[in-house]
Amino acid sequence: MVRHALMAGRLGSGKILLDATSGNTGIAFAMLGASFGFPVRLVMPSNVSPERKRILKAYGAEVEWTDPDQSSDGAIRRAREIAANEPEKYCYMDQYSNPANWRAHYETTGPEIWRDTDGRITHFVSSMGTTGTIMGCSRFFKEKNPKIQVIGCEPKEGSQIPGIRKWPQAYLPKIYDKARVDRIEPVSQAQAEDMTRRMAREEGIFAGISSGGAMHVALRVARELKNAVVVTIVCDRGDRYLTTGVFPD
């Protein structure tokens, strides 16, 4: 997304990168801003983990905190308001509507998985946050083999899993196309957190909670199958959740 904005001239020359985020994409924006020399302003719910807040501060990003009861929806509303009021000042990335989001996975993640499985992948399981990963990979895989099943993960009612959303219709990412997902599987917060701990203890994979949720669903799907190649994405790091209680003291 940053590369496309720089190439198109929408970012640079003093313009401020602006976006709403729950954490990981915002951290990436802040890191790239520090590296390439453009200012970054982020809008985030105030209940994100302390580790994320410290990382963003370390990179020098400006952060506006929103009501945690409004979750990411409140942050999105506020970012849209800022962008609308001063369009000349900001490059609003709008990751939930930006086609460069899914295109990055169409051009890189999907081809990498296809190469590393020698084209034998049969099922792809992905958590759904911005939906960029699942949209881009689905486009690529279906072009290669329409029989590949694409499975999305969303939190069960009442569960809060950072990085996985069950979007209300009004805030459903514009890049999301439900026709590209063959089925959606629910995962509870307890299941996601338990799998996150298991991945660290049993596999040495120190991942975040959304990755635990996707892995739980991937293993559930795998139990239904024979002679299948099931792939999921570990897309977050456990050190961003050390103070949340997910990992025991």
The pLDDT of residue 236 is 87
Q: Which CATH number, 3.40.50.1100, 1.10.580.10, 3.30.470.10, 3.30.390.10, labels domain 100-240? A: 3.40.50.1100
Domains 2-92 and 100-240 share a fold: yes
Show the 3-state SS of the chain: CHHHHHHCCCCCCCCEEEEECCCHHHHHHHHHHHHHCCCEEEEEECCCCHHHHHHHHHHCCEEEEECHHHHHHHHHHHHHHHHHHCCCCEEECCCCCCHHHHHHHHHHHHHHHHHHCCCCCCEEEEECCCCHHHHHHHHHHHHHCCCCEEEEEEECCCCCECCECCCCHHHCCCCCCHHHCCEEEEECHHHHHHHHHHHHHHHCCCECHHHHHHHHHHHHHHHCCCCCCEEECCCCEHHHCCCCCCCCC
Question: Is 3.40.605.10 the CATH classification of the domain at 2-92?
Answer: no
Instruction: Give the mean pLDDT of the chain.
Output: 94
Domain boundaries, the chain: 2-92, 100-240
Q: Is 133:235 a contact under the CB 8 Å cutoff?
A: yes
pLDDT at 5 over 90: yes
Entry pTM: 0.91
- The predicted-structure confidence for 115-161, as pLDDT tens digits, reads as follows 999 999 999 999 998 999 999 999 999 999 999 999 999 999 989 88
The pLDDT of residue 209 is 93
Half-sphere exposure for 164 (CA within 13 Å, toward CB)? 34
- The predicted-structure confidence for 180-194, as pLDDT tens digits, reads as follows 999 999 999 999 999
- The predicted-structure confidence for 80-127, as pLDDT tens digits, reads as follows 999 999 999 999 999 999 999 999 999 999 999 999 999 999 999 999
The pLDDT of residue 132 is 95
pLDDT at 13 over 90: no
pLDDT at 249 over 80: no
In 3D space, the residue among 208, 129, 27 whose CA is nearest the CA of residue 42 turns out to be 27
- The predicted-structure confidence for 195-227, as pLDDT tens digits, reads as follows 999 999 999 999 999 999 999 999 999 999 999
